[in-house]
Structure 1
Amino acid sequence: MGAGEAIGVDLGGTKMLVGVLGRDDEVVHRRIGASGGLSSDQVMELLEAELEIALAERPGVEAIGLGIPCTINRERGLCVSAANLPLRDVPVRDIVSERFGLPVSVDNDANAAVIAEHHSGVAAGADNVVMLTIGTGIGGGLILNGRPYRGSSGAGAELGHVVVDIDGPPCQANCPNRGCIEAIASGTALTAEAVAAAELAPDSGLGVALAEGWPISGRLVTELAEDGDRVAVEVLATIGRRLGAALSGLANIFDPDVIVIGGGVIAAGELLLGPARAEVRARALEPQNGVPVEAAAFGPDAGMVGAAMLARAELAAADGGVV
C-alpha cells in the first residue's frame, strides 16, 4: 500500500485518535484528544492542532488519511452529515490539504477500519468481511468480493443504523429511529445498561461505584467484571447477546468469511464476544451460523491505521502505483 509515512486520524464522537504509520506499518506516533461536546469549528481546530503535533514529530509524512463517522462524498472530500459529530457539509479534505500542503484522503471511519483488518489484520485474505466498530456509536464496514463497499452515494454499510427493534430505545443524535443496533449495543448503550443495573444492585461493585460518584464507563464495567463483579459481568453479557442477535441477521444477509468487532468495547474481550458468538450460533441460519466472530487485530487503532493505509494507497495510485 505504499512505503512512505502517513498520518491516520480516527475522529470519534468522544475522542480523536491521531497516529503516524511508519514504512513497515508500525505506529510511530500516537495521541488521543477529546472531541466530545465540541462545535464544528472546534472539532476542526482540534484536528489541525493534533496534525501539527504529529507533523512536528514526524516531518517526513507524505499523506494524511481521515476516518470520520459520517456520510462521505469521497469525490469532493466532503463530510455530508454525521450522527455523533456536529459536521455537516464540511469540506474536510480541502481544509486540511490547504492547511498542511499534503494530499488528504477522507473516508468513513468504519470503512477505514475494515480496510486495515482486510489488509493485514484478522480478515487478511478474506473475500467477504463484515465489521462493526463499537464506541460512542456503531459504525459498519464491508468488504464484498475483495473490495470495500461504499454504496451508490457513499453512505453504504451504515450497519449500526439497521433497526432490530421498532419499539426499542431512541437512537442517538441525528438518527430519527428507535431500536437501531447502535441504540442497543453501542458503548453508550452499555453505559446506560450499567447505570440501570447499578441502581438495582446498590451492594454490587458497580452499585458502589455509582453511589460514590465514579463515572460509569465501558472501561470501569470491564474492570469490575474482570474482578468478578457479577452485575458488571451480566451487563457485558447483555450487550454481547444484543450484539450477537444483530450479527446473526448480518451473517444471514452477507454470508461473510469473518465478522470483525472493533472499537473501544473490545477491551472487554470474551466477556462481550463470548455471548455474541453464542447468539450467532443459535440464531443465524446454516451455514452462516458458523461464521467466526473476531476482535480486530488492530484493536481500537484499526480506524486510524486504515485511514493511514488508505492515504498511502491513494498517494501511490496518484503516482502511478498500484492500490
Structure 2
Amino acid sequence: MSEMIYVGVDLGGTAIKVGICDREGRLLHTYGGPTESDKGVHVVIDNIEKYVRHIVEQSPYSWDQVAGVGAGVAGFTNVREGIIVLAPNIGFQDVPIRELLESRFAKPVKIDNDANVAALGEAWSGAGRGIENCVCYTLGTGVGGGIIINGKIYQGFSGMAGEFGHMAVVPDLEAIQCGCGKMGCVETVSSATGIIRMAKDAVERGDRTTLSTVDNIAAKEVFDAAKAGDEVAARIVNRAAFYLAKSMAAVGAVLNPEVFIVGGGVSNAGDILFNEVREVYAKYTPEPLQRGVSILPAQLGNDAGIVGAAGLLLRS
C-alpha cells in the first residue's frame, strides 16, 4: 500500500497555511496564501481547497495518498459537528466547515481550535514527542492552552478544556479585569499584553527603568531589559512567571502531566522566564507530583498549528 499523507490547514484571519505530514508527524511540505475573509465564507473555502490541492499537486504524492484534511481555527468550534461556531477574525459564524470541505475533497475532514491543534502538534512531533500526557501553554496576545491525555486532545464536555489563561490566580487586591470579564486571570499578567501593560504602568508611575526611553514597548523589550539588569523589568518578568507557574501547579495537581510545553512569542524569552517558572512550580507543587515532570519550550514555532491540524486525522 502506498504511504499515506495527512494534510493540515492553519486557518487564520489574514493567511491560510497548509502542510503535508507523514504518519510520524514530520512536516514534509508547506504552502499558503491569503484568507480573503472579507470576500465571504465561500471564497475562504475556495482558497482552502485551492491551497490544499496545490500543495499535493506540487508534492511527490498523489491525491489517492491523502488520508484526510485537518483544520485548526482561532475561534469557538463544535468539534463533534464540525462547525465553526464563532471565529471573529475570519468572520465565520455557525459555518459547517467539515461538511463544506468534505464535499470539495471527498476525504475525511476534522477541525479543532488553534490552541488545541498547536498542543497536538507539539505532542505529536515537537517538544512532547513520545509523551502520552502533556499540557501546552501558548503565551501570546492572550494565554491559550491544550491538554493531551493518552496521546489525544482532551476537549471537555463542551470543547472548552484548556483555557488556562482564564484561571483566576492573581489575588483580589492586585487583580485587574480580564477581557473575559473576570478578575485576576493568568492572561492579565503572563501574556504579552499583560507584560506590556505592567511595563507601561511602571513607566507612568515614574519607576526608574530603561523602559522609559522606549516609545512602543513590546514584551521582548521587557525581557531584554531584564536580562540587561533592569530591576523594574526583572520584577515584571518574575511576576509574569510567578502566576504562570502557580497556574501550572494547580493544573499539575489535577492532571499530573509528564511535560508542560510553553510556546508562543513570550516563550522566546528563554531561561530568564523558564528558570523562574520551574522554581515557582517546585515551590507550589507537592514533591511527589514534581517527580519526572519537565517544563519545556515548544519546538515547532509557527508550524505547530499545521502539524497539529494534520494530526487530528490520527490522534483525535
| Aligned-pair CA distance for 1:4 | 1.7
Q: Which residue of 1 aligns with 2:307?
A: 305
Partner of 2:259: 258
Relative to structure 1, the CA distance from residue 282 to residue 203 in structure 2 (aligned partners, 3 Å threshold; closer, same or farther) is closer
Scaled by the length of structure 1, the TM-score of the pair is 0.76
* Matching residue's letter, 1:309: G
Name the CA distance, whole Å, in 1 between partners of 2:154 and 2:84. Answer: 18
Cross-structure match for 1:318 = none
Q: Which amino acid aligns with 1:132?
A: Y
Aligned residues: 302
Aligned in 2, Cα 1:235/1:30: closer, same or farther, shift over 3 Å? farther
Q: Report the CA distance between 1:152 and its aligned residue.
A: 2.3
Report the CA distance between 1:141 and its aligned residue.
1.3
Return the letter of the residue paired with 1:194: A
Task: Kindly report which structure 2 residues correspond to 1:215-226, keeping only aligned pairs within 5 A, or say none.
Answer: 216-225=217-226
- Deviates most, 281-290 or 161-170: 161-170
Shift of 1:50: 7.0
Gaps of 5+ in 2: none
Question: CA contact under 8 A between 2:8 and 2:18: conserved in structure 1?
Answer: yes
1:246 maps to which residue? 247
Instruction: Single out whichever of 218-227 and 185-194 deviates more from structure 2.
Output: 218-227
- The structure that has the greater radius of gyration is 2
Q: Quickly say closer, same or farther: Cα 1:20–1:146, change in 2 above 3 A.
A: closer
Q: Which residue of 1 aligns with 2:280?
A: 279
Structure 1's unaligned 5+ residue stretches are 315-322
TM-score scaled by length of structure 2: 0.78
- Aligned residue runs from structure 1 range 200-219, under 5 A: 200=205, 204-210=209-215, 214=216, 216-219=217-220
Corresponding residue to 1:104 among 101, 109, 124 = 109
- Please state if 1:169 is matched with 2:176: yes
SS at match of 1:124: coil
Partner Cα distance (1:55, 1:204) in 2:
53
CA contact (8 A) 2:203 2:212 kept: yes
- After superposition, the C-alpha distances for 1:74-100 in whole angstroms (9 at most, x for unaligned) are 222112346988654333334455567
**Structure 1 residues 5, 106: CA separation in 2 closer, same or farther (over 3 Å shift)?**
closer
Name the stretch that deviates more: 107-116 or 238-247: 107-116
Q: Secondary structure at the match of 1:237?
A: helix
For 1:85 and 1:285, locate their aligned partners in 2 and report how far apart those are by CA, in whole Å.
43
Q: Secondary structure at the match of 1:142?
A: strand
> Are 2:17 and 1:18 equivalent residues in the alignment?
yes
Q: CA deviation at 1:107?
A: 0.8
DSSP-derived class of the 2:304 partner: helix
| Post-superposition CA distance 1:11-52 (Å, at most 9, x none) | 4xx87562413447135326697x9xx988779866865774
C-alpha deviations, 1:146-186, integer Å up to 9, x for none? 432112232223222222247322222xx232222223322
Q: Indicate the larger mover: 244-253 or 200-209.
A: 200-209
Residue 298 (structure 2) aligned to one of 287, 296, 299: 296
- The residue number in structure 2 matching 1:319 is none
Asked whether the equivalents of residues 196 and 219 of structure 2 are also in contact (C-alpha less than 8 Å), the reply is yes
Q: Cα distance, 1:293 vs. partner?
A: 0.8
Q: Residue by residue, what CA displacement relative to the aligned partner does 1:235-272 show, whole Å, maximum 9, x if unpaired? A: 33321122111111111111211111122221111122
- Evaluate the alpha carbon distance shift between residue 246 and residue 4 of structure 1 in structure 2; reply closer, same or farther with a 3 A threshold: same
Q: CA deviation at 1:278?
A: 1.1
**What CA distance in whole angstroms lies between the structure 1 residues aligned with 2:213 and 2:157?**
50
Q: Deviations over 1:86-144 (max 9, x none)?
A: 65433333445556766432112222122222222222333321221222222221122
Deviations 1:197-250 (A, max 9, x none): 34346764422112xxx3x32344345545555544443332112211111111
> Tell me, what secondary structure is at the counterpart of 2:246?
helix
Say yes or no: does 1:154 pair with 2:159.
yes
Q: Equivalent of 2:193, from 173, 188, 191?
A: 188
Task: Output aligned runs, 1:64-143, within 5 Å.
Answer: 64-81=69-86, 87-98=92-103, 103-143=108-148
Answer yes or no: is the 8 Å Cα contact 1:72–1:155 preserved in 2: no
Query: Is the 2:207–2:232 contact (alpha carbons within 8 Å) kept by the matching residues of 1?
Result: no
Distance 1:10 1:234, change over 3 A: farther
User: Quick one: structure 1 residues 57 and 147, their matched pair in 2 at CA, closer, same or farther if it must change by over 3 Å?
Assistant: closer
Match for 1:178: what amino acid? Answer: M
> Contact conserved, 1:282 with 1:289, CA < 8 A, in 2?
no
What is the rounded CA distance, in whole Å, between the counterparts of 2:11 and 2:226 in structure 1? Answer: 28
Provide the C-alpha distance between the structure 2 equivalents of 1:263 and 1:69, rounded to a whole number of angstroms: 14
Match of 1:235 in 2: 236
The RMSD of aligned alpha carbons is 3.6
Structure 1 residues 299 and 108: CA distance shift in structure 2, 3 A: same
